[in-house]
Amino acid sequence: MFSSTTYQRRREILKKEVSHGGILLLGHIESPINFEHNTYPFRQDSSFLYYVGIQVPRLAVLFDVDENRDILFGDEHDLDDVIWMGRQETLQDKCLKAGLQEVRPFNQLGAYIQNMLRGNRKVHYLPPYQSYSEILLQEVLGIPRAAISPSATLIRAVVKQRSVKEDQEIEQIEKAVQVSVDMHRLAMQIAKPGMKEFEIVNAIQKLAADQSCSLAYPPIVTVHGEVLHNHYRQHTLQSGDMVLNDSGAETAMGYAADLTRTFPVDRTFTVQQREVYQVVLKAFADARCMLQPGAQFKEVHLQAARSLVTGLIELGLMHGDPEEAVQNHAHTLFFQCGLGHMMGLDVHDMEDLGEQYVGYTEDEPKDTETFGLKSLRLGKALQSGYVITVEPGIYIIPELIDRWQAEKKHSAFINYATLAQYRNFGGIRIEDNFLITPRGNRVLGPELMITVDEIEAYRSSFC
């Protein structure tokens, strides 16, 4: 945990911003796997973590703005619990560390809220994303499921606060990146023909766990990098393949990292692989140059897209004017997704609060229709203190090519004949994590080999 004053200060700012009523944050339970008492590893809700910091299941907290009281609802262990789970720090002690003076039994939460509602006082809450929280909200608010109505005021206040990272949060994120860099180095050390994708996943998961980290998300480690969310992991690495490794650690305090590298199963890339890699790396570098306070991330995304198109034209895969190609979204045949997203206590930071609040503004809302842009999670202007990912890629998806080609879609920009030679190419993504600084940006964590030469030299020392 951070210091108690950290949590107190965060709560003071939040209450001031919300200004009236009560703020209800629900902690998580332990999610059942196949019966109630066989559970997945506990992970506290991120907003609860941010304002309270206590990693214990079955808690809720209410910040009574009007009365300036912060009350935690939860139950102490009894002697039976001690027999089964050992002597543990009391909830009261944990609350003191979080700067919370008032603890009440969990079953008093409903009465407190009902009392507020009877007094015509507003109870603000965030969108529930676990069924448990939906049920609990119905119970304590005394409303049917359809009436659950998260508070835009609260969402905006939380997003505003969590978006700008404190120094101690950046330290945590850098720790996560550091472990992730080790994970990526390990993957580049052990990968060899004949290995299964899941063996690499198992090895990097163990490395993270030995550093007291979990994985921030299910890793994508695959020789089919063109499948964007590939969790299959059963393919066998073969000579000539590339491995796309998109994986990141999460620290014990809950902070995430999110890195991607693509490397050859052999010591070196093929000529074709190297050429496409250079195109992605150039787009990555071009995007990075633009990262500074005030830069619209949507513009950074589009600049990366133009950069990719320029490179693809040089390779003969596209033709025409890069600017025009991107305006027509022709690049989305190769780059179907977004350039990056916010990162912090969640790998897609605050995704549960809604992209329209986290990544966009009311004046410039998200484009939810256009293929490509609808997958861009972050479009708004960057601020100093934001932590974001930059992750351009080129993905050769045969099914998508077949559909476009049948429709002759964007044939003014795409050379389908040349593209046929790349049909089994796969996919390449390069991703690092950046802090927006007052004057520009800083890559987080230690350096991880990124150029063709660096990667080939590293691979060659282990193959």
Give the residues lining the site for its own copies (CB under 8 A).
31-41, 43, 45-46, 79, 82-87, 129-132, 134-135, 145, 198-199, 201-203, 205-206, 209-210, 212, 217-218, 224, 227-232, 254, 336, 345-348, 351-352, 397, 399-400, 403
Sheet holding 220-222, edge to edge: 220-222, 242-247, 259-264
Q: Looking at beta carbons only, is 21 or 48 nearer to its own copies?
A: 48
Q: Looking at beta carbons only, is 27 or 99 nearer to its own copies?
A: 27
Shortest distance in whole angstroms from residue 394 CB to its own copies = 14
Q: How far apart are CA 439 and CA 293, in angstroms?
A: 7
Q: Looking at beta carbons only, is 281 or 357 nearer to its own copies?
A: 357
Q: Could you tell me if 436 and 293 are in contact, meaning their C-beta atoms sit under 8 angstroms apart? A: yes
Shortest distance in whole angstroms from residue 66 CB to its own copies = 30
Q: Which of 427, 193, 396, 209 is nearest to 201 (CA)?
A: 209
What's the chain's length in residues? 463
Shortest distance in whole angstroms from residue 169 CB to its own copies = 16
Shortest distance in whole angstroms from residue 36 CB to its own copies = 5
Shortest distance in whole angstroms from residue 403 CB to its own copies = 7
Shortest distance in whole angstroms from residue 146 CB to its own copies = 11
- Between the alpha carbon of residue 26 and those of residues 32, 47, 85, 403, the distances in Å are 18, 9, 24, 45
Shortest distance in whole angstroms from residue 65 CB to its own copies = 25
Mention every residue, 6+ apart, whose C-beta is less than 8 A from residue 79: none
Residue 146: is it exposed, middle or buried by C-beta count within 10 angstroms (0-12/13-18/19+)? exposed
Q: Looking at beta carbons only, is 116 or 158 nearer to its own copies?
A: 158
| Packing angle, helices 297-314 and 271-289, rounded to 10 | 150
Shortest distance in whole angstroms from residue 398 CB to its own copies = 9
Q: Looking at beta carbons only, is 266 or 346 nearer to its own copies?
A: 346
Q: Looking at beta carbons only, is 84 or 107 nearer to its own copies?
A: 84
Q: Looking at beta carbons only, is 256 or 313 nearer to its own copies?
A: 256
Q: How far apart are CA 308 and CA 391, in angstroms?
A: 12
Q: Looking at beta carbons only, is 204 or 313 nearer to its own copies?
A: 204
Question: Strand ranges (DSSP E) for 325-422?
Answer: 387-390, 393-395
Q: Which of 391, 208, 105 is nearest to 200 (CA)?
A: 208
What Rg do the C-alpha atoms of the chain give, in angstroms?
24
Mention every residue, 6+ apart, whose C-beta is less than 8 A from residue 337: 228, 372, 375, 376, 393
